[in-house]
Structure 1
């Protein structure tokens, strides 16, 4: 009934002896409820968010649907363990290209232990979190039936520089992704995926407008998940480009204050994607959708 997700790009992958998320065939995603305070905090967030009537409907779509918790057999073989039951975001996709982007120049939360803060600060400085306000945590880009997915390993992703991030954001919407970082991506799908009234940029701008006002929550170490599928574009249709927020183990009460840490990182990501759209060739590639 339960199986390991095929399209997980970040975090611990479930296996015998390793605790990780599972999915089923009904479109649900089972995330282990961690035994420390992270698990209970994430459950509290989902419960409160689901019942918060002040969250606009057009914002709710950016969060996975929450179905409660369920005891299921853990992937590490340790027996029954409570899991958060969530919407499986990629269940309707066949060959999704996915990117996990951790938002915020600061990934640690104020009440964290000194050891945890030190660990996060070192990682924020070693990656692009501190310099850009976000970092890419993982990705996969579907090429073709023959080439399959391009998926750089975790060590390579952790070493991304600011220039690498610019390149990766172009590769993500290209027909020629590869491990060759010297190859210029063709950006064949940039206009269709990033642009348009329902594209990634428009969705990020909608989120930005909400974060400029919302003071309910402060999101630390939360990710923006970006995904799309190439087949609709190749068939002359608009892609189902999707933005979702995930990972809420470190969400705090906003106490009436705007979440500038998350907002700043989101604005930075928007700037990078806008630059790609503003520098596309005058003649769009034949596989790109014209608005």
Structure 2
């Protein structure tokens, strides 16, 4: 039986009669395809990526597993609609802390219409994309059974400035994310640090993006997630995944400097939080 994801933090959501993704109990995520070239472009990317022998296994781990496409009853009641069938990235989590970070100072693709480019440019200017090379699109951080999640609404997140981004990256790995007091970043060394923490995984991706010229990842996001219970026990199990590929285009033998620059900026922020330690 298909249902609405409980822990989606950004993007279109299948609520209030709107079209959005669904999940099942077998660990699969059903993402409705957009009806224009963006939908066909995302299918083309997943198909190409899945069978591209040039992509090393150490990089494939950062992408959702692709299980093809399937027509399903749309969440908005409009009838059958084509869906991507992907891995549900948080299906094994109980209380996942999740953050969606859109990478790149430019979020449009070269073939986009002038109206689309101007709309993206406006959003990039209003957020931190132009200034930092990335912006937070949505997040939630679990505190406790009593306090639940800290999950700022979409409007608030879209207005984040640099200081808000800095504070949110620290609050995401704090024992007290729901509280109004200064975040303590007490889980930073476990979640962000370590040999397979968030920073190490981002550095692995950076090494690949410094060489890869196959794709240009316009308007893609880095999704980071972890389980607080295990993090408090000193076990990270934090994951980094790349998502949202409706605007990926052929790299034409050129390094994707837009994505790489944003990724380096995010790495710098997380590195500084680790250097500071708890506050």
Q: Structure 1 length normalisation: TM-score?
A: 0.94
Shift of 1:237: 4.1
> Which of 239, 243, 256 does residue 240 from structure 2 map onto?
243
Report the Cα distance in structure 1 between the residues aligned to 2:70 and 2:158, rounded to whole angstroms: 33
Q: Can you list the C-alpha shifts for 1:183-229, whole angstroms capped at 9, x where unaligned?
A: 21111100000000000000000000000000000001000000001
Report the Cα distance in structure 2 between the residues aligned to 1:250 and 1:100, rounded to whole angstroms: 17
- The answer for unaligned runs of 5 or more in structure 1 is 286-291
Q: Counterpart in 2 of 1:36?
A: 36
Report the Cα distance in structure 2 between the residues aligned to 1:128 and 1:179, rounded to whole angstroms: 24
1:53 aligns with 2:50: no
Q: Is the 8 A contact 1:16 1:77 kept in 2?
A: no
Q: Structure 2 length normalisation: TM-score?
A: 0.98
Report the Cα distance in structure 1 between the residues aligned to 2:20 and 2:272, rounded to whole angstroms: 36
> Structure 1's 237 and 178: CA in aligned 2 closer, same or farther, altered over 3 A?
closer
Q: Counterpart in 2 of 1:125?
A: 125
User: How well do the aligned residues superpose, as a CA RMSD in angstroms?
Assistant: 1.0
Q: Counterpart in 1 of 2:150?
A: 150
Q: Secondary structure at the match of 1:152?
A: coil
Aligned ranges for residues 206-245 of structure 1 at < 5 Å? 206-234=204-232, 236-245=233-242
Shift of 1:233: 2.5
Q: Secondary structure at the match of 1:146?
A: coil
Q: Counterpart in 2 of 1:89?
A: 89
Shift of 1:179: 6.4
Q: Counterpart in 1 of 2:258?
A: 261
Q: Secondary structure at the match of 2:68?
A: strand
Q: Can you list the C-alpha shifts for 1:157-186, whole angstroms capped at 9, x where unaligned?
A: 011010111100000000111363xx2111
Q: Can you list the C-alpha shifts for 1:258-290, whole angstroms capped at 9, x where unaligned?
A: 000000000000000000000115xxx9xxxxx
Q: Counterpart in 2 of 1:288?
A: none
Q: Is the 8 A contact 1:152 1:179 kept in 2?
A: no
Q: Is the 8 A contact 1:141 1:172 kept in 2?
A: yes
- The answer for unaligned runs of 5 or more in structure 2 is none
Report the Cα distance in structure 1 between the residues aligned to 2:115 and 2:178, rounded to whole angstroms: 38
Shift of 1:256: 0.3
Q: Secondary structure at the match of 1:101?
A: strand
